[in-house]
Amino acid sequence: MSDTVFNQILSSIIDNSDMDKKKIIRIINKNQSKHRGILPEVEALIIARDLDVDITNFLVDVENRIIEKASRGKN
């Protein structure tokens, strides 16, 4: 798996829950269709948190990703 923050969160969910990659991706895609504009990294954090997976190591990286995405949108 790539070392993107999304893939790191995904790996953490897989390692710390009984969910497989396909199921997690399905939930992320479903939630993104409901929550238009939310980054997949944020959806993954929400799922991780709901499963009591520690997300503290990912918060700064996801925050930076949100800022990066917002900055590009202002051009």
Q: Which residues of 27-62 are buried (b: 16+ CB within 10 A; e: fewer)?
A: bbeebeeeeeeebbbbbbbbbbeeeebebeebeeeb
Q: Where are the domains of the chain?
A: 5-73
Predicted TM-score (pTM) of the model is 0.85
Listed residue (4, 5, 1, 47) closest to 23, CA to CA: 47
The tens digit of pLDDT for each residue in 8-37 reads 999 999 999 999 999 999 999 999 888 887
Average pLDDT, the chain: 90
Alpha helices in the chain (DSSP H): 5-15, 21-34, 40-50, 59-73
The tens digit of pLDDT for each residue in 33-62 reads 888 878 999 999 999 999 999 999 999 999
Looking at residue 49, its pLDDT comes to: 96
